[in-house]
Amino acid sequence: MRRLSRQARLAALGVAFAAALGISACASMGMPPGGAVDKRPPLLLKVTPDTNALHVKAKEVVFRFDKVLSERPRGAPTLEQLVVVSPSDGPTSVDWRRQALAVRPRKGWRPNTAYTVTILPGLSDLFGNSLNRSIQMAFSTGDDIPHGAVRGIAFDWIAQHVAVGARVEAVTGVDTNFRYIAATDSTGRFTLAGLPPGTFRVRVYVDQNRNGSLDVRELWDSVTVAAADSAHRELYLFPHDSIGPRIATVEVRDSVSLRVRFDKGLAAASSVEAKTFSLRRVKDSSVIVITRAVPAAQYDSLAARRAQFVKDSTARADTSKAGRAAVARSDSLRAATRNDSIARAQIAAQRAARDTVKREPLPKPGRPAPRIEFVLDLAEPLAVQQPLLLTARELTSISGVTRSSERVFSRRPPPKDTTAAVKRGATPPKPGTPVPAAVKVPAADSARAVKVPAADSARAAPKKPTSP
C-alpha cells in the first residue's frame, strides 16, 4: 500500500479537526440534540471606554456580550430606540457587530461633558432570550462627572397606575435641543444622573408612536427642579388639551337616575353639584329637576354596601327553615373565604421568605383620580322615547379650560319579555320569520262569527240556486 504524502496527511487531519469543531459548535448552540435549550440572556463582558472614565477621546462606546445579539430586540422596533444617550442633541447611531453594539451620537460627543449611555430592557440573543434589566454606564469628555440627579415616579393620573416606559427629558438654559434623557422602568421610576448644578425643566411623557417627541393627545407632565445635589418628584401624566370638557355619554340607569361621563377629567377645584346640570324636555322645554349629583365611584361603592346590607337583613329576617339554612351557608362561606385568604397570605409570605429576589410593590399615586363620571338622581321618572336635553355648565378640565356642553338623549323602551310565552308552551318566532297578519272580525258580526270544522266546510258552504 502506497504511503500518503505529508501534505495529504495534514489535509486529512485538518478535515477531521474542522468536523470536530462543527460538532462541538452544534452542541454549544443549546439546541437538541446537541444539548439543553439555552434560556440565559446575553451577558455583558466589557464596556469600552470603562465606566466613570475621564478625558475620553473615543468616537464610540462599545458594549461587548458573550452571545450573538439579535438585530430585532423585544423591547423596541429597532436597536436605536433601545439605546438612550444623555445628554443628547440629536439622533443616536447604534451599529450591530454580532456580539457587540457600538453607540455614538451622529453629531459626536461634546467636549467637557459628562454622558450616560443606557441600554433599556429588551436586548435579546438569536434565541429570544432578552434582558429584563437596563445596562448603564457613564463617562466624561472633561475633567469630572457631576453628581447631581433628579429621581422620580411617573403615574398615569386618570388610570391611577404607574407609567411604564415613559420618556424623561430635562433641559436647562436657552439650549433646549441639548437634553438630558432617561426612561421610566417597570415600576414607573426614573433617574436623571450626571446633572451639573442648575435649574432644569423636567418633562415626562408617554411616547406612544416612539418618535422621540411629544405629540397631541399624548400623556405628559412637567416640573421645574433645582438639581444642586439630588431631588425627588412625582409627576402625574394626562393629555393636555386646549378644549374644555364636554359630555361624552349619557346612560339611563333607570327611570329616575342618569350616568353621565365626560371626555376628560375635571379639575379638583371645579364644583360639581345638582345645579351644575339642567335637564329639559325637547318638545316643550319643561324642566325635570335634578336632586343630586354624585361622583360615580362614590355612588357605586355606596350602592354595593347598601345592596349587601339589604341582602343580609332580608336573609336574617327569614326565620323559616330554608332561611336559617341560607344564613348558615352564607356564614360558613364567609368563614371559608376568610380562612382561605389567611392561608393564601401565609403561603405568599413563606414564598417571599424563600425567594432571594424581593419584589417591591408598585407605588400608588398620591393624588386621587380626576372625576370624569357622575350619577344624577331625578325628581320624577322619565318617559320612554322622549327626547331630552342635558346641559352641564361651566366645568373646568384638569388642563384649566372651562366649557359648557349639551347632549340630547332619550330613554329606550325595555326589551320585550318572551319568558311568559315560553312558559305557556308557545315557541317564539325565529328572527326574520314573517308573522301573518291577524284577520279582524267586525264587532257587529262577532256574534255571528262561528268557527267551522275543516271536514264540514264543504257542507257548510251555501248551495248555489239552480236555474229552472
Residues 189 and 224 in one domain: yes
**317 in a domain, yes or no?**
no
Q: What is the pTM for the complete model shown?
A: 0.67
Report yes or no: 183 and 120 within 8 Å, Cβ to Cβ: yes
Residues 156 and 195 in one domain: yes
**429 in a domain, yes or no?**
no
DSSP H helices in 294-447: 296-317, 321-354, 419-423
Distance CA 388, CA 169 (A): 48
Residues 221 and 269 in one domain: no
Last-in-domain residue among 116, 145, 174: 145
Q: What is the pLDDT of residue 438?
A: 47
Query: In Å, what is the CA distance from 22 to each residue of 15, 34, 439, 441, 457?
Result: 11, 11, 91, 97, 98
Residues 204 and 272 in one domain: no
**450 in a domain, yes or no?**
no
Residues 141 and 151 in one domain: no
Amino acid at 1: M
**405 in a domain, yes or no?**
yes
Question: For the chain, what is the mean pLDDT?
Answer: 80
328: left (phi over 0), alpha (psi -120 to 50) or beta: alpha
102 pLDDT higher than 90: yes
Task: Summarize pLDDT for 143-170 with one digit per residue, the tens.
Answer: 999 988 889 999 999 999 999 999 999 9
Residues 385 and 406 in one domain: yes
**314 in a domain, yes or no?**
no
Across the beta sheet with 247-254, what order do the strands follow?
247-254, 257-266, 371-378, 290-295
pLDDT above 70 coverage of the chain, percent: 68
Query: In Å, what is the CA distance from 130 to each residue of 69, 125, 127?
Result: 10, 7, 9
Domain that holds residue 212: 147-240
Last-in-domain residue among 120, 145, 170: 145
**121 in a domain, yes or no?**
yes
Distance CA 215, CA 208 (A): 9
Task: Summarize pLDDT for 364-414 with one digit per residue, the tens.
Answer: 998 889 999 999 999 999 999 999 999 999 999 999 999 999 999 999 887
Cell, residue 218: 399624548
Task: Summarize pLDDT for 307-355 with one digit per residue, the tens.
Answer: 665 666 665 566 676 666 666 666 666 666 666 666 677 666 666 665 5
Q: What is the dihedral of CA 72, 76, 79, 83, to 10 degrees?
A: -150
**246 in a domain, yes or no?**
yes
Distance CA 458, CA 314 (A): 65
Residues 404 and 289 in one domain: yes
Q: What is the pLDDT of residue 59?
A: 94
Residues 191 and 226 in one domain: yes
Report yes or no: 165 and 183 within 8 Å, Cβ to Cβ: yes
Residues 99 and 55 in one domain: yes
Last-in-domain residue among 379, 401, 418: 418
256 pLDDT higher than 50: yes
Q: How many domains does the chain have?
A: 3
Residues 139 and 63 in one domain: yes
Residues 82 and 162 in one domain: no
User: 280: pLDDT confidence band, cut at 50, 70 and 90?
Assistant: very high
Q: Domain containing 173 — which CATH number?
A: 2.60.40.1120
**126 in a domain, yes or no?**
yes
User: 441: pLDDT confidence band, cut at 50, 70 and 90?
Assistant: very low
Residues 293 and 376 in one domain: yes
What number of other Cβ atoms are within 10 A of residue 123's Cβ?
Answer: 26
Distance CA 180, CA 194 (A): 9
